[in-house]
Structure 1
């Protein structure tokens, strides 16, 4: 549990890859032993803070080159972590092992509804090849409705 540093929750997953169909996401079955911390209060605080900003949030290099994440950016990182999990799941095969390395850039997108929208440029570390892959993802989030990755695409290395 990334929010409770002293808490360990066991999760077991079975991941089945579709042979011959490189475009199909793997099937995942998982179980969690124990309970994760309820984040409703923190989610609502973050949501209200972002909704009350006069200008849209913009940030870069989370974490910085020393591994530091400003406390006010932890929720932005948590959203990226969850969203990148979806991207990783949809783009993995049995020869890859992706991990979120850094948020290179994030920009809030102004919306007229109750959702928050963020446009992320993330760096994924592919552990097998040791490649760093830029990836764009657009994320919608609302504390009562959860997270959705509305678009994502691998980017050229020079981004």
Structure 2
């Protein structure tokens, strides 16, 4: 692995920056606030004794729903060891975090907390990239939940995106938390593999997403993935 200054467009810097995206979504993401990597401006990598590798990054991050782009600085540490450990992230994105989605999140929460018919949907988005507008918040919620998986599974050889929510099932509300079971398809841009994960989690505006269980499932045929062409 290269050390010193990195080419911002090459994989080492892009992989580390993508981890920052996942981190931001796990900490601050919601059905109406979803973050994505916009651009890597600079990157520096250095070995930390024999414990791992540290990346220092200057990036810009986009909040997708509002198409707002703000600058961030971040530090990503990939630990070494026989057993893979999650990357450690520190990020400073103060302007980005000023984006307020509380009113929209609360309205969604109240609507589905008292909903008599529990949400059930599949293929978000469908093979043509389309979805019912009412389902978009649940697609965004799937990205946030998937970010917990992608953050824990990321290393210096991966570059994960959320490809599709294959299925979403709302369960009975517990302790004022909306509860969901999601089947999520992840795409590793490096290996081109599609990975299938089942994630059980709760969400509320006050508590955010809390992952209760996550399990990797056998590889799927994925015949209805969105067309990227």
TM (norm. structure 2) is 0.65
1:13 aligns with 2:84: no
- In the alignment, the residues of structure 2 paired with residue 58 and residue 154 of structure 1 have an alpha-carbon distance, to the nearest angstrom, of 21
Q: 1:158, CA displacement in angstroms?
A: 3.7
State how far apart, in whole Å, the 2-side matches of 1:130 and 1:51 are: 38
The structure number with the bigger radius of gyration is 2
- Of 67, 75, 86 in structure 2, the residue corresponding to residue 25 of structure 1 is 86
- Counterparts of 2:90 and 2:118, CA distance in 1: 38
The 10-residue stretch of structure 1 (75-84 or 117-126) with the greater mean CA deviation from structure 2: 75-84
Unaligned runs of 5+ in 1: none
Q: 2:145 aligns with which of 67, 78, 83?
A: 83
Give, in angstroms, the shift of residue 125 of structure 1: 0.2
- Per-residue deviation, 1:52: 2.6
Match of 2:195 in 1: 133
Say if 2:131 is the partner of 1:69. yes
What residue number does 1:142 align with? 204
User: Whole-Å Cα distance in 2 between the matches of residues 101 and 123 of structure 1?
Assistant: 5
| 2:95 is aligned with 1:34 | yes
1:58–1:105 CA contact under 8 A, matched in 2? yes
CA distance in 1, matches of 2:114, 2:94: 37
Question: How many residue pairs end up in the alignment?
Answer: 158
Deviating above 6 A after TM superposition, structure 1's stretches of 4 or more consecutive aligned residues are none
In 2: Cα distance, 1:44 partner to 1:71 partner? 18
CA contact (8 A) 2:198 2:217 kept: yes
CA RMSD of aligned residues (A): 1.5
User: Displacement, 1:144?
Assistant: 1.1
Please state whether the residue corresponding to 1:102 is helix, strand or coil: strand
Q: CA deviation at 1:21?
A: 4.2
- 1-structure distance, mates of 2:208, 2:69: 23
Of 66-75 and 129-138, more deviation after overlay is shown by 66-75
Question: Which whole-Å CA distance do the structure 1 matches of 2:84 and 2:70 have between them?
Answer: 32
Residue 84 of structure 1, CA deviation: 1.1
Question: Residues 51 and 66 (structure 1 numbering): CA distance in 2 closer, same or farther, change over 3 Å?
Answer: same
> Residue 122 of structure 1: CA displacement?
0.4
CA contact (8 A) 2:69 2:96 kept: no
Superposed, 1:47-126 pairs within 5 Å as 47-126=109-188
* SS of 1:9 mapped into structure 2: strand
